């Protein structure tokens, strides 16, 4: 049985779906025989990004979507987390410690944040498939 190269899933941006999204990513990567590391790096960075969506994207309104895409490329794995929320704006009353994006920067090989025309930020993260490039020990 062949594993699809792409996981593309969307959930409602509520706290309980952070772990649902993480499990979906880990299951997909396990089915593709992704080594650990970088599996733990991907799971943690994806959880941080999904948590940011839940915490920040839809404040002061009903939760919208949390979309996660995992693309298994030949040399690396691309993970995209996006929402249709208010964008990346400072939040003085943030309930978190503000460590999500610095953690993502440390865990990924590289990342960037894009602002698509349809709204909300799109966080793109890349991880080398080479286990020696991982941040977290296996």
Looking at the structure of the chain, the number of domains it has is 1
Element containing residue 22 per DSSP (H, E): helix 16-31
Residue 138 domain flag: no
Please give the distance of CA 28 from its chain centroid, rounded to a whole number. 14
Is 115 a residue whose pLDDT tops 80? yes
CATH of the domain at 42: 3.30.565.10
Closest CA to 123 of 36, 48, 21, 12: 48
What percentage of the chain exceeds 70 in pLDDT?
Answer: 83
Per-residue pLDDT at 104 exceeds 80: yes
110 sits in which H/E element: strand 110-114
Residues spanned by the domain of 114: 6-133
Contact predicate 45/16, CB 8 Å:
no
State the number of CA atoms in the 13 A half-sphere of 36 facing the CB: 10
Average pLDDT of the segment spanning 31-44:
92
Q: Which residues contact 102 (CB under 8 A, 6 or more apart)?
A: none
Would you give the DSSP letter of residue 64? -
Q: What is the pLDDT of residue 36?
A: 85
Is residue 36 in some structural domain? yes
CA 46/CA 58 separation, integer angstroms = 18
Residue 1 belongs to a domain: no
- pTM for the model stands at 0.87
Using pLDDT thresholds of 50, 70 and 90, give the confidence band for residue 120: confident
Question: Are the CB atoms for 40 and 99 separated by under 8 Å?
Answer: no
- Per-residue confidence (pLDDT) for residue 124, from 0 to 100: 97
What's the pLDDT tens digit per position in 45-86?
999 999 999 988 998 899 999 999 999 998 999 999 999 998
Above 80 in pLDDT, residue 24?
yes
Q: What is the pLDDT of residue 71?
A: 96
Question: Which whole-number Å values give the CA distances from 120 to 36, 54, 58, 81, 115, in the listed order?
Answer: 31, 13, 10, 10, 6
pLDDT at 137 over 80: no
CA atoms of 121 and 138, how far apart (whole Å): 31
């Amino acid at each position: 049985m062949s594993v699809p190269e792409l996981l593309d899933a969307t959930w409602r941006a509520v706290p309980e779906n952070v772990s649902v999204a993480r499990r979906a990513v880990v299951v997909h990567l396990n089915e593709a025989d992704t080594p650990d590391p970088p599996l733990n790096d991907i799971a943690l960075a994806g959880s941080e990004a999904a948590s940011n969506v839940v915490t920040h994207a839809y404040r002061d309104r009903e939760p919208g979507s949390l979309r996660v895409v995992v693309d298994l490329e030949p040399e690396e794995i691309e993970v995209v987390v996006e929402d249709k929320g208010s964008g990346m704006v400072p939040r003085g009353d943030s309930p978190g410690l503000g460590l999500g994006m610095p953690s993502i920067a440390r865990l990924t090989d590289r990342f960037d944040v894009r602002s698509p025309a349809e709204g909300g930020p799109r966080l793109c993260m890349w991880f080398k498939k080479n286990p020696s490039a991982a941040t977290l020990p296996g």
